[in-house]
Amino acid sequence: MRFTIDKEQFLKGLLIAGRGIGAKNANPLLLCFKMEMTNIGLEITASNGDVTVFTRVPLKLNEKEIIRNYSLGSSLITARSLTEIVRKMEGDELSLDIIDESVAKVDDGNTTFKLPCVAADEYPDIDLEKTGTVFSIPCTDLTRIIEQTAFAALDKDTRPILTAINLKAEGGLFTATATDSARLSRKSVHIDESVRFFANVSAKTINDIVKLFDNNYEVEICSTGEKMILSFGNTTVSTRLIAGDYPISKSIVPQDFNYSLQVNAAQLLNSIDRVSVLSTDSAAVVKLLMTNDGVEISSSGDQNGSGSEKLSIILYTGERLEIAFNALYVSQAVRALGSEDVVLKFVGEGKTFVIVDPKDDSIIELVTPRRTR
């Protein structure tokens, strides 16, 4: 195998495929890119066993020649080394040449690197064929859905199913739900009525995948029963499904509220941040005391001291209510909404409350309160 390639496009391909490479792997071949020069482009595959990324650097892009002077072939090259040297090289174009099957020579006319490489037939077989229902949605839509929900998934492996984001398409709605059991985030968008789809996939992985999207494309999605496969542009990604029943039903969202607090999102975030500054615990607890006279927000840093202030509000309706919550949960929910104002709606003391954007009912954030002392 040999080829001469546009440096920028080569690096772009390596960085995309690099999302499939883990920091460590028991199988050292899975720290390599599989590189295959074909008659339609340079194909780069990377996999950590759970996630596989395949991408193709085409021969031409917008009439510009990207790859020239190539001979077909394939090889395995350590992903980190190859990415780092390509990043550092200064030429606009560089050539890669496999010498005697065990050394890859990379050269930009000034700098020469020699990297060890391995025959490609030692790489595990990877199946990226899409089977079953395949549907498409715009990359921008899926990105927004994931950004607004994935943060609420459990971030440790104590209950694997809760590290998943639950994706579901039925009855004309595509819905994503994530929860760590103390808070929940759910977002729905309209989709063709015929689409039926279910998958539980790692929230962390899908959050990484959407970062690869080129927003001009649509993404094609299917679930094979074992994995979810996403294709966009020249790239295909598969991620293993997380086994188990996703433990959330529609009925957990409260319906009748007795208290409603509308505030500017930025002011609420600032106040939470300020009054919780003395907490050494990462899970700072903040308290709202709401009355018809105003709303006080406060936090106790225990032996470190305490802070309180009057919260600037837009509107409060309801009697006196005291609610304490995990500052991080409410801050993340408010940021996920991304709206100018937010409305917090309460059923009563100790009851799960919701945070919504008054102008967008496609997304809902639920938070379980903490005990007030």
Q: Which residues bind its own copies (CB under 8 A)?
A: 78, 81, 84-85, 88-90, 110-116, 270, 273-275, 277-278, 301, 303-310
Q: How far is the CB of 25 from its own copies (least distance, A)?
A: 16
* Cβ distance to its own copies smaller for residue 268 or 367: 268
CA nearest neighbour of 13 among 68, 82, 70, 71 = 82
* Cβ distance to its own copies smaller for residue 111 or 216: 111
- Residue at 71: amino acid letter: S
Q: How far is the CB of 131 from its own copies (least distance, A)?
A: 39
Other CB atoms within 10 A of residue 205 CB: 21
Q: How far is the CB of 135 from its own copies (least distance, A)?
A: 43
Q: How far is the CB of 116 from its own copies (least distance, A)?
A: 6
* Cβ distance to its own copies smaller for residue 90 or 170: 90
| 299 within 8 A of 309, measured Cβ to Cβ | no
| 246 within 8 A of 166, measured Cβ to Cβ | yes
Q: How far is the CB of 113 from its own copies (least distance, A)?
A: 4
b (16+ CB within 10 A) / e for 122-157: ebeeeebebeeeebbbebebbbbbbbbbbbbbbeee
| 128 within 8 A of 54, measured Cβ to Cβ | yes
* Cβ distance to its own copies smaller for residue 69 or 303: 303
- Residue at 237: amino acid letter: V
* Cβ distance to its own copies smaller for residue 18 or 307: 307
Residue 276: strand, helix, or coil: coil
Residue/partner pairs of 313-317 with CB below 8 Å, 24 or more apart: 313/261, 313/262, 313/263, 314/262, 314/263, 314/264, 314/341, 315/260, 315/261, 315/262, 316/259, 316/260, 316/261, 316/262, 316/290, 316/292, 317/259, 317/260
Q: How far is the CB of 303 from its own copies (least distance, A)?
A: 7
* Cβ distance to its own copies smaller for residue 127 or 273: 273
Q: How far is the CB of 80 from its own copies (least distance, A)?
A: 9
| 208 within 8 A of 19, measured Cβ to Cβ | yes
| 228 within 8 A of 242, measured Cβ to Cβ | no
DSSP-assigned letter for residue 28: G
Which residue in this structure is represented by tokens 């999207």? Answer: 213
The encoded tokens of residue 320 equal 């006196």
* Cβ distance to its own copies smaller for residue 115 or 189: 115
* Cβ distance to its own copies smaller for residue 114 or 159: 114
Q: How far is the CB of 10 from its own copies (least distance, A)?
A: 16
